[in-house]
Amino acid sequence: MKHNLVLGLLAFSAATAAVFGIAACKKKEPSPPPHEHSYSETWSSDDASHWHASTCGHEDAVSGKAAHDYVNGVCGTCNHVHENHTFEGTTCTVCGYTLPSSKLQYEEVLGEDGETVTGYSVVGWGESETDRTNLVIPAEYSGKPVVSVGEQAFYVAEGDETLTAVFLPESVKELGEYCFYGCSALTKINLEHLENLQKGALRECTALESAELGYLKTVGKYPFYGCTSLKYVRIEGAENFETEFLRYCPALERAEFGDGVESLPKNTFYDSDAVRELSLGKAFSQEVTSDTFPAGLESIEVSAENATYSTEGGILYNKDKTELLYVPKYLKGRVVIADGVKKIGYGYTYFWEHPFITSVTIPASVESIASGSIESTFRDSNRIAEIYNLSQIEFVNLEDDFGLAETTVIHKSLSEKSVVTDPDKDGFVWRTDTDALHAYFGEETQLTLPGGHDGKPYAVGAYAFYESTLEKVTVPSGVTALGQYCFGYSSSLSEVAIAEGTEEIGSGAFYSCSALSRISIPKSVKTIGTGAFFAFMGSSSLERVDYAGTVSEWAAIEFGNSYANIFKTPLRETPAALYLGDGSPLPETIVIEGIEKVGMSAFNGAPIKAVVLGKGVKNVGQDAFMNCENLTQVVIGKDVTYFAHAFSSSLKTFFYEGDKETWATLNDGSGGSSALKSATVSYFSAEAPSEEQWGQSANWWRYGIDGFAEPWTKE
């Protein structure tokens, strides 16, 4: 019975579907199983790549396709064990494919007799060579060894984006002058078997990132000049070093000189200021002077077998560590001078202008400091928060300001608690006595500062981000102040956003931030110190300033001087555009009211045409409207009592809301209005002036319908 009922329902459903034009459901057929390809275990290859071909008849199916991997002896990172490198030449290390030799032009190399052909030199591409991406030089040509690449063989005056890799056989011992000049796409070249590297051989190979050289007889002048991507160089030794070995390699971070290098040539690191790590071998014995090493060095290491020098903690000492000889300028964090040091040497060995050192320990063994005082030894090292002076050398009060920060704490015992922390996981260093952010040693380029410290607001200390590599910075509401020079010389910094809550931007806070183009300033800011934006003078980097307040609130900010401002000054050609809190740009005609004082230099150089100093304004600070070349109309409100040094002497017209007698009393105490005696002054009259008034003065004015001064004319 149940079966009949079910069958009936099914029949009814089918019939119903037919009536309403609904297709009956069909059982879905299962998809066929995916085809399982099979592949050869051996590699197939062409000039560009290798792959495992299909063995199941599907020619379009391949596995593991990839570009060839040619090891060329260039390590690319200083973490490799360089002695264990193997040179595989032009053979792919994965599939075994070997690049065919390039079609080249050759010249004979003659022996000492001037007649016998002893080898050949490559002098350029063969006319029939079509693949100029890889240069593959054979070991032999016409039965003789290929021994060199000739002068200007592959020279490209304006740069070449074709050649990317050069494979030299062991027979090639020399690269001639300027032979690869301008090969701007070259990323790989093996140099370990060279004996002679001539002048400018790899000049302006701007894509080359690393180079390893063995023992050379000759290294010509500036062989790597203009290799702007070069990060790492190693040379085992050289019998004859010419000058400027690593000139203008601005990306160079690490240089290693092996056991065959006794001294560095003159101006080795000329214009290569990014070198942070330097390694020297056992033979190095050159007397160290102020220009021996790169200016931006973070640490130096010398072989333990060196008989002249030793290193500890990145600092250079004499062999027995009784004399401190060289402190890398960019050494970071805590510095502990080696125990046993008796003398801290002269000039370049001081801690002068070392921006990243936070703490220094002077051991009890120190007997003399060449500078004569500890203060001058640490001159202008502004991040030093503390000095553990365990020696018997006393601090003295010097008449000159030698730059030792007023907040530097002097400890006399190691048991005294440190006032500066080590970097936390995010790279921030804090002062424990002031809770200020003391330094940043992280690697972020786009950074948001902490919203607080130990649950409290904090200030960014002086020099905290000095010479940083930051590009964008967000200052949150938990930051109360930006200390002096806190972002000074951060040449990559382009954008800064400061949230409400910050009240002070210190002197030089953005000094020489030459890339800074946009900054937002909250209306909570009350002071902006001297030279805060000095880097913008004479440049057009700063394009826009977004201020969260009104014109009057901006006017109330106290600027340290004209160099603190964003507008045009005698040293800045183009003013930045100031945008106010409502999103509008600073108008050409401005009304200031509701504040007692217009801050010093508040509108120095601003592109404004008219100013009304309205209700409540009493005092106008020095240089407040200086260098405003378009300013032609100034209304002085009746509440104003002082403005003597606020305007340029070229401004000749003032509209005063008071009378002639009161005008004469303004600026009392500074010679009256002596700076303005030659100016034409119009006095206010709400109604048309009477004959008596015209007799008192030839100039009267009223407020026009636009709210600005409108002169009365005598009928």
pTM given for the model: 0.78
| Sheet hosting strand 323-326, strand order edge to edge | 309-312, 315-318, 323-326, 343-344, 368-369
CA distance 231 to 78: 10
Residue 122 lies in a domain: no
Kindly report the CATH number assigned to the domain that includes residue 412: 3.80.10
The three-class DSSP label of residue 644 is coil
Kindly report the CATH number assigned to the domain that includes residue 485: 3.80.10.10
Lowest mean pLDDT among 46-60, 180-194, 269-283, 647-661: 46-60
Provide the pLDDT for residue 531.
Answer: 81
The residues, ordered by sequence, that sit 6+ positions from 28 with a Cβ below 8 Å of its Cβ are none
Q: Averaged over 38-64, what is the pLDDT?
A: 81
| Sheet hosting strand 62-67, strand order edge to edge | 44-45, 49-53, 62-67
Backbone CA torsion sign across 628, 631, 637, 641: positive
Provide the pLDDT for residue 14.
Answer: 43
Final residue before a domain boundary, out of 544, 566, 586:
586
Report residue 19's pLDDT band, with 50, 70 and 90 as the boundaries: very low
pLDDT over 60 (residue 509): yes
Percentage with pLDDT > 70 across the chain: 86
Letter string b/e over residues 204-228, b meaning 16 or more CB atoms within 10 A of that residue's CB: bbbbbbbbbbbbbebbbbbbbbbbe
Q: Averaged over 151-163, what is the pLDDT?
A: 90
192 against 71, higher pLDDT: 192
Which letter does DSSP use for residue 420 in this model? B
Provide the pLDDT for residue 82.
Answer: 41
630 and 611 in a common domain = yes
Final residue before a domain boundary, out of 398, 420, 442:
420
674 and 654 in a common domain = yes
704 and 612 in a common domain = yes
If we measure between CA atoms, which residue out of 366, 361, 363, 371 comes closest to residue 410?
A: 361
Within a 13 Å sphere around the CA of 617, how many CA atoms are in the beta-carbon half? Answer: 24
Beta-strand pair 277-280/254-260: parallel
Mean pLDDT, all residues of the chain: 86
Report residue 71's pLDDT band, with 50, 70 and 90 as the boundaries: low
571 and 541 in a common domain = yes
Provide the pLDDT for residue 64.
Answer: 84
CB atoms within 10 A of CB 454: 8
593 and 569 in a common domain = no
CA distance 375 to 387: 10
pLDDT over 80 (residue 374): no
Q: Averaged over 607-635, what is the pLDDT?
A: 90
Report residue 672's pLDDT band, with 50, 70 and 90 as the boundaries: very low
- Cα separations (Å) of 248 from 230, 275, 679? 10, 11, 57
Residue 84: both structure tokens together = 């264990």
Provide the pLDDT for residue 267.
Answer: 93
Report residue 669's pLDDT band, with 50, 70 and 90 as the boundaries: very low
Residue 166 lies in a domain: no
Angle at 512 between CA 511 and CA 516, to 5 degrees: 95
604 and 465 in a common domain = no
Contact 648, 630 (CB under 8 A): no
Domain that holds residue 414: 308-420
Provide the pLDDT for residue 31.
Answer: 58
Strands (E), 220-262: 232-241, 254-260
The per-residue pLDDT for range 433-487, each reduced to its tens digit, is: 999 999 999 999 999 999 999 999 999 999 999 999 999 999 999 999 999 999 9
The per-residue pLDDT for range 540-559, each reduced to its tens digit, is: 578 899 999 999 999 999 98
The per-residue pLDDT for range 193-243, each reduced to its tens digit, is: 999 999 999 999 999 999 999 999 999 999 999 999 999 999 999 999 999
First to last CA, the chain: 120
562 and 427 in a common domain = yes
600 and 459 in a common domain = no
Report residue 43's pLDDT band, with 50, 70 and 90 as the boundaries: confident
468 and 368 in a common domain = no
CB atoms within 10 A of CB 574: 15
- Cα separations (Å) of 641 from 58, 616, 617, 644? 95, 11, 9, 9
Residue 296 lies in a domain: no
Which letter does DSSP use for residue 564 in this model? G
If we measure between CA atoms, which residue out of 434, 469, 464 comes closest to residue 449?
A: 464
CB atoms within 10 A of CB 359: 23
Provide the pLDDT for residue 424.
Answer: 95
The three-class DSSP label of residue 4 is helix
pLDDT over 80 (residue 575): no
- Cα separations (Å) of 504 from 433, 479, 507, 600? 20, 10, 9, 15
Residue 441 lies in a domain: yes
SS3 content of the chain, % helix, strand, coil (to 5): 5, 30, 65
How many structural domains is the chain composed of? 3
If we measure between CA atoms, which residue out of 369, 368, 364, 366 comes closest to residue 352?
A: 369
Residue 1: both structure tokens together = 């019975």
Is residue 486 left, alpha or beta, with left meaning phi > 0 and alpha meaning psi from -120 to 50? Answer: alpha
426 and 574 in a common domain = yes
- Residues facing residue 448 across a β-bridge: 474
* 3-state SS record for 659-694: CHHHHCCCCCCCCCCHHHCCCEEEEECCCCCCHHHH
DSSP states of 297-331: --EEEE-TT-SSEEEETTEEEETTSSEEEE--TT-
Provide the pLDDT for residue 11.
Answer: 42
Residue 289 lies in a domain: no
H-helix segments, 170-272:
none
Letter string b/e over residues 472-482, b meaning 16 or more CB atoms within 10 A of that residue's CB: bbebbebbbbb
463 and 550 in a common domain = yes
Angle at 705 between CA 704 and CA 709, to 5 degrees: 20
Residue 165 lies in a domain: no
Residue 141 lies in a domain: no
Provide the pLDDT for residue 401.
Answer: 56
302 against 343, higher pLDDT: 302
Final residue before a domain boundary, out of 586, 611, 642:
586
629 and 581 in a common domain = no
The residues, ordered by sequence, that sit 6+ positions from 700 with a Cβ below 8 Å of its Cβ are 682, 683, 684, 685, 689, 693, 694, 711, 712
CA distance 320 to 714: 95
Residue 206 lies in a domain: no
- Residues facing residue 495 across a β-bridge: 472, 518
The per-residue pLDDT for range 101-136, each reduced to its tens digit, is: 899 999 999 999 999 999 999 999 999 999 899 999
Q: Averaged over 282-305, what is the pLDDT?
A: 92
The structure tokens 């690049």 sit at 99
Strands (E), 426-569: 428-430, 437-440, 446-448, 458-460, 472-475, 479-482, 495-498, 504-505, 518-521, 527-528, 544-547, 558-559
Strands (E), 596-632: 597-598, 610-613, 619-620
Contact 696, 660 (CB under 8 A): yes
Provide the pLDDT for residue 562.
Answer: 62
pLDDT over 90 (residue 501): yes
Residue 297: both structure tokens together = 């060095």
Taking CB atoms within 8 Å and a gap of at least 24, the contacts of 41-48 are: 43/94, 43/95, 43/96, 43/97, 45/92, 45/95, 45/97, 47/99, 47/100, 47/131
Contact 475, 498 (CB under 8 A): yes
